[in-house]
Structure 1
Amino acid sequence: MTNEIRSNQIRPDWWGKASAGAILGIGLALALVGLYAYLGPGGINAPGGRYSLMRYLEAFIWIAVFSTCFLFRSGRAAWVWLGVANLIAFAALFACRFHFFA
């Protein structure tokens, strides 16, 4: 009986994983789409309909990050790894913005 009750409960670390995927996932998606805007074909000033592509790409990346955040061992690990990924992605975006490379 005790095992049946426990199996129906949501594990506490799922909330940490889901919040990391939702909050840090959108930041990572924004940074990666920004990198695509700077480093993609034509650069940031490319003509055409790239803006709608970037909007759809952002949603796809966010869903992918949110879906894979449950593969971490704990909510803390999800926050740490996605936080580090955000720092790296935003540092690269900052470098692109100020022409440190590209």
Structure 2
Amino acid sequence: MKKNAAKTIQPDWWSKSCVGAILGLSLAIALGNLIVVIGKHFFAVGLMVQIGMWSIAWLWMPLFFISYLFYTGKTAFIYMALANTVAYSCLFFLRG
């Protein structure tokens, strides 16, 4: 009987660490900017700038952790690059 070919998480932590550090930070910056752009109509601009700035660390650490949950470093790169593309596209669309 043939074993089930279940995907296992590969231990290529160098590539996953680089993806989480670089693309995770880039995505966290984009999401922090989206917080500022969306919230500036509802709150004072000075407050939104501070919330956006301090949210980057809170967003980056979970994104850095999530990069280790992908099967390989290549898939982590593809999905994080796709998420960055979507986030920056939304940011540039909303900023005008």
What TM-score do you get using the length of structure 2 for normalisation?
Answer: 0.81
Which stretch shows the higher mean deviation, 34-43 or 76-85? 34-43
Figure out how many residues of one structure are paired with residues of the other and give that number: 87
Aligned pair 1:21/2:20, yes or no?
A: yes
- Work out the CA distance in 2 between the residues paired with 1:81 and 1:17: 12
SS at match of 2:12: helix
Question: What residue in structure 2 maps to residue 62 of structure 1?
Answer: 60
Instruction: Give the Cα–Cα distance (whole angstroms) in 1 for the partners of residues 45 and 29 of structure 2.
Output: 21
Structure 1's unaligned 5+ residue stretches are 1-10
Q: 1:97 to 1:48 in 2, by over 3 A?
A: closer
Which protein has the larger Cα radius of gyration, Structure 1 or Structure 2?
1
1:38 aligns with 2:37: yes
Contact 2:36 2:51 in 1 (8 A): no
- In structure 2, runs of 5+ residues without a counterpart are 1-9
Counterpart position of 1:88: 86
